[in-house]
Structure 1
C-alpha cells in the first residue's frame, strides 16, 4: 500500500502562490493576515486535507501539552481509575496522555520512561514496579527538566511531587476491625518489602497487634504473596499449619484476597464463620464475590485528579526553593460479608 504524503503548509503556499509564513500566520489566527486571504487559506487547507502537527507546534512554544503515565498494570481497577482521574482533569486543560505499563518489570519500566523522555512530554506520572529498587531512570527524568510525579508506589529517596495513601493507618484500622470482630489468629499476606507501601501496611498490621496486646506469630506472615496465584499458595501454606489462622489480611490487593477465597472454598472452610478474609484496593469484583470481600478503598479516581491538579499548580509555581509537595489521601475501610463472623 502506497504511503500518502502528509500535507504541509508549504503545499498550501505553493498552490496559492504565497509564502509559507503567511499560511502559518493564517492557520494561527494572526491579525497580520486579512480576512479574505485567511478564508482562502483555510479553504485550501481543507481541500488538501491538511492536519495540523500539534506536537511540533507545541514544542516550538516550549511544551508538548502531553503527560506520560507509567503504571504496573493497566487492567487493575485501581490504576485504571487513577488514569481516568488524571484524564478528566487534563482533558479540560487541553492536554493529551501517553499511557504505558511496566508489567511489574524494572527493565520495561526503564524503557517506558526513556520513551516518554524522547517524546518530550511535559510531565511523567509513575507508580513504580515491584521488580527492582534502582531509580536512576527517574533521576534522568528530573535531569531532563521534566516534571516527575510519583503516586501510590514511590521511591522515597527521590524528592519529587508525590500523591500517596496513608497505608499504615489503613492497615491498622483493618486489622483492628478483625480483632474487634473476634478473630484471634490473623495471618498476613505481605508484598515485596522493597516497596514502601507494603512496608507501611505491615507496620499497620503490627501496630494493631501491639495496641490490642495480641502476640505476633511469625509463622502467620507470608512473604511476597502479592498476586492471586501467590496469595492462593500462601493461603494453602497457612491453612495447612497445625494451628491455622482464623483470618487472613491480604494486604497487597483484592486479587490476593480472591486467591484466599478460592483456596478456602476448595478446602471446605466457611468464610467468614471459620475464616475472615480482608483485601486491599476495592477492586470492582470484591463487591460481587461470595461472600463479598471486606477491603480498603484508596479513592483512586480522586488520587488521579489530585495528581493532575498538582501538576497544573506547579506550572504556576515560580518558587523553586521549596520542597516538592507530598499529598497523603486517607483510605477508607469498606466492611462487607467476608469479615462478619458474628453475623
Structure 2
C-alpha cells in the first residue's frame, strides 16, 4: 500500500493560483492577507487535509519545542515517574518529549544523545548509565549550545543544571533506623562506584556506622549487587559467612532487596526477627510483599517536575547564570515490616 503524499503549502498555492508566501501568511496569520483570500486558503487547507509542519515552523523561529530525555531503564518505576513529572509540566507549555533508553550501556547512551542533537532538540535531560566511562558526548551537548540538565545520576565534573537527591543523608537515616531497631551486623549491597549516587549512599552507610561506633566489616560490603539476581547471589554469600549479617541494606534498588527477601524465604530465615531488609526507591511492589519492604522514597514525580521547571526558569532568565543551579530533593525513609522487630 502506497503512502499518501503529505499536502504542503505549495499544493494549496497551486490549487488557488496564489503564491506560497500568501498561503503561509494566511495560515499563520502573520502578515497582511485580505480576509476573502485568507478564508479561501483556510477552506482549501481543510479540504486537502493539510497538516501544519510544527517542527519546520519552530525551527524557523530558532526552537523545536522538544526536549529529549535519556534514562537507563524506562520500565523502572523511578525513571517512569520522573518522565511523567517532566511531561506534566512540558505539556502545559506546549512542548513535546522524545524518550530514549540507554539500557545501562555507554555506547547506546552516546547514540541516543547524538540522535537528539541531530533532532535539534532544545534541551537534553539525562540520568547517566552505569556503564558510562567518559562524558565527551555530554560536553558535546554543551558545545552545541543545547541546554543540558542532569538528574539523579550525574557527572559531577560537568557544570550543568542538576536535580539530585540527598543520597548520603537517606542512607545515613536508613542505617540509623536499623541500628535503633537492634541490628548490629549490617551488610551493604552497593552499586557501581563510578556513579555518584552509589558512592554517596556508601558514604551515608559508613557515616552511620561510625556515629554508633560499629566497626566496618569489609566482608559485609558487596559490590555491584544491584539487580534482583545479583542481590540474591550476594545474600547467599553473606549468609554463608562465619558471622553472618543480621540486616542487609540494598542501597542499589528495591529489586536487589527483593532478591534478599526471596533468599531469606527460601532458607526459612524470618524477616525481620532474624534478618532486617531495607531497599531503595519505593518501587510499587515493596508495599505488597510479605513482609512489606522498608525503602526510601525519592519523590520521583517531583524530581521530574523540578527538572522541567528548572529548564523553563532558565529559559526565561534574561542573563545566563554564572553558576549552574543544582536542586536537591530530600528523600524519605518509608519504614515497613521488613525492619520492624
State whether TM-score is above 0.5.
Answer: yes
**1:133 Cα offset (Å):** 1.9
- Measured in 2, the distance between the counterparts of 1:270 and 1:48 equals 70
- Measured in 2, the distance between the counterparts of 1:83 and 1:164 equals 15
In the TM superposition, 1:1-343 aligns within 5 A as 1-30=1-30, 32-320=32-320, 322-341=322-341
**1:34 Cα offset (Å):** 2.3
Large movers: runs of 4+ above 6 Å: none
Q: Secondary structure at the match of 1:113?
A: helix
- Measured in 1, the distance between the counterparts of 2:321 and 2:282 equals 38
**1:10 Cα offset (Å):** 0.3
Q: Secondary structure at the match of 1:121?
A: coil
- Measured in 1, the distance between the counterparts of 2:132 and 2:21 equals 51
Q: How many residues align?
A: 341
- Measured in 1, the distance between the counterparts of 2:286 and 2:167 equals 19
**1:31 Cα offset (Å):** 5.3
1:87-144 deviation digits (Å, cap 9, x = unpaired): 0000000000000000000000000000000000000000000002200000000010
Q: Secondary structure at the match of 2:292?
A: coil
Q: Which TM-score applies when normalising by structure 2?
A: 0.99
For structure 2, list consecutive stretches of 5 or more residues without a partner in the other structure.
Answer: none
Alpha carbon RMSD of aligned pairs, Å? 0.8
- Measured in 2, the distance between the counterparts of 1:302 and 1:141 equals 25
- Measured in 2, the distance between the counterparts of 1:220 and 1:20 equals 72
- Measured in 2, the distance between the counterparts of 1:289 and 1:110 equals 37
- Measured in 1, the distance between the counterparts of 2:318 and 2:150 equals 21
- Measured in 1, the distance between the counterparts of 2:217 and 2:246 equals 13
**1:2 Cα offset (Å):** 1.2
1:145-194 deviation digits (Å, cap 9, x = unpaired): 00000000000010000000000000000000000001110000000000
- Measured in 1, the distance between the counterparts of 2:113 and 2:199 equals 25
**1:29 Cα offset (Å):** 1.7
**1:318 Cα offset (Å):** 2.8
- Of the structure 1 ranges 34-43 and 52-61, higher mean CA displacement relative to structure 2 is found in 34-43
- Measured in 1, the distance between the counterparts of 2:320 and 2:172 equals 37
- Measured in 1, the distance between the counterparts of 2:232 and 2:38 equals 67
Q: Secondary structure at the match of 1:97?
A: strand
- Measured in 2, the distance between the counterparts of 1:29 and 1:274 equals 73
Q: Secondary structure at the match of 1:242?
A: coil
1:16-39 deviation digits (Å, cap 9, x = unpaired): 111110110111023512222211
